[in-house]
Amino acid sequence: MLNARLDGADPAFGLSLTDVDPPVLPRPDWARVAVDACGICGSDLAILFPHGPQSVLMLPFVGAPLEMGHEISGTVIEAGPDCPTPVGTPVAVDPTLACTARGLEPCPRCRDGDLSTCLSLDSPEPVRGWAHGFASGVGGGWSEQLVCHHSQLHPVPAQVDAVTAALTEPLAVCLHGLLRCPPADGEPALVVGAGSLGLATVAALSHLAPHSEVTVLARYEHQAGAARRVGARHVVMHDDEGGHFEQIALLGGGRVTGRGRARQLVGGFGQVAEAVGTPAALGLAMVLAGQRSVLWAMGAVAVADTDLTPLYQKELQLFGSLGYGIEEHDGVRQHSFDRALGLLAGGGLDAGSMVTHSFPLSELRRAIEVARDRAQGALKVMVLPAR
C-alpha cells in the first residue's frame, strides 16, 4: 500500500510516499480501515515546514519516523474477532492512542473521559506515538490503509459522505476546546482566524451557543465568504495598519486605547477563540479580548515570543485544549467525535464551505503545496487515498 512517512529522506521536503506492506492487526479487538479521505491540518504543515523555535515537549509522545495524516474517514475492511464494528461500516477515526486502544487499564484521565490527556500517551505498546498521524507501525490518514482499536471507530451517519466525515476530527477539536469552558449562549463571541480551524470553530460555537452572534477576524476575502456561509454574523478584515481594532470594538461594545504596539481593547467581547495557531494570533486575541474574558486557545501554538501582559492585566481565563474527549453538554455526555458527526449529519457544517481542493494520494506533494498557499484560495485540502 502507499504510505506517507516523515523520514527526512528528502531534506527539502522530508516526506516520502512509499509502497509498503499493510500493517497487521496488533490484537483481536482491532480493525483494518481503508482510508477514504483525510484532511491536511495546519499542525501537519508545521511539522513538515517548521518555522522558528519549535517545542520539544511532545517529543516523548511521538514515534519516528511518522506516518502522517490524522483527519481520517474510511471504511472497515477487516475486523478482528473481538472487534464489534462490522466490515463495511463507514467510520470517522479518533486518532488518539489512549489506554483502551493500547490494551491498558484506564488511567485516571481516561476514566474521566479526558482521552487527549491520557497518562499513557508515551507508552511504547503496541506502538510508539500518541496518535495516528503522529506514530508509526499503524498507518496514518495519508496511507491507503491503517489499523486501529475499535474504540477509535465512530460510525458515520448515512447522510454524511466520506469527505464531510473527514471534517469530524477538526470539528471535534473545536467542540472539545469550547466545552473546556462552555460558551455562554446569547453572549457575543469573537473568532480570530478564518482558516479551516476558524470556520470549524464558528460552526461549533453556532451549535453550542445558537443565540450568540459570532464575529470573525479574517485575513483573506475567500475566508470571509466562507465564514459567513458557516454562520458568522459579522466578518472583519484584518488590516496591517490596525483598522480592524475600531470595527471589533464597535461590534463588541468596547473601546480602543493606546497607539501602535500599545493598542488594545478595553471591554468588548467576553468570549474569544484564537484559531490560527501562531504566536501573533494568540497575542492579538489577548489584546482584543475584553476584561475577564474567556479565551480559548484552539490553535497549536508552540514556542512563542508574545507579550502576556493582557493575560494578567485583563485577568483573562485562558483555556488550552488538545484533541477530543467525552464531555457533557445540555445533559448529554458524548464523545467529541459523535457530537461532531451529529452536527455534520444535521447540516451544521457544509463541506462545500470548507473543502476547496482534493487530490489523490499519489499527488500528496502537490496537495501540500496548495494547502500552504492560503492566499490563493485554499481552505481545507483533502487527500483521497481511495481515488
Q: Specify the CATH superfamily of domain 2-167+349-384.
A: Medium-chain alcohol dehydrogenases, catalytic domain (3.90.180.10)
Alpha helices in 185-298 (DSSP H): 196-208, 221-229, 244-252, 279-288
Asked if residues 205 and 189 have their Cβ atoms less than 8 Å apart, the reply is yes
Fold classified for 171-320? Rossmann fold (3.40.50)
| Neighbour tally for 18: CB within 10 Å | 11
Domain map of the chain by residue range?
A: 2-167+349-384, 171-320
pLDDT by position in tens, the chain (length 387): 999 999 888 888 889 999 999 999 999 999 999 999 999 999 999 888 887 777 777 777 887 789 999 999 999 999 999 999 999 999 999 999 999 999 999 999 999 999 999 999 999 988 889 999 999 999 999 999 999 999 999 999 999 999 999 999 999 999 999 999 999 999 999 999 999 999 999 999 999 999 999 999 999 999 999 999 999 999 999 998 889 999 999 999 999 999 888 999 999 999 999 999 999 999 999 999 999 999 999 998 888 888 899 999 999 999 999 999 999 999 999 999 999 999 999 999 999 999 999 999 999 999 999 999 877 899 999 999 988
Angle at which helices 221-229 and 196-208 pack, to 10 degrees? 20
Count H helices and E strands in the chain, helices first.
13, 20
Residue 174 is predicted with a pLDDT of 97
Residue 258 is predicted with a pLDDT of 93
Size of the chain in residues? 387
Q: Which tens digit of pLDDT belongs to each residue from 117-167?
A: 999 999 998 888 999 999 999 999 999 999 999 999 999 999 999 999 999
H/E element holding 359? strand 355-360
Asked if residues 299 and 197 have their Cβ atoms less than 8 Å apart, the reply is yes
Bridge-based pairing of strands 271-274 and 264-266 is unpaired
- DSSP class of 202: H
| Neighbour tally for 337: CB within 10 Å | 26
Coil/strand/helix, residue 384:
strand
Residue 55 is predicted with a pLDDT of 77
Cell of residue 228, nine digits: 459567513
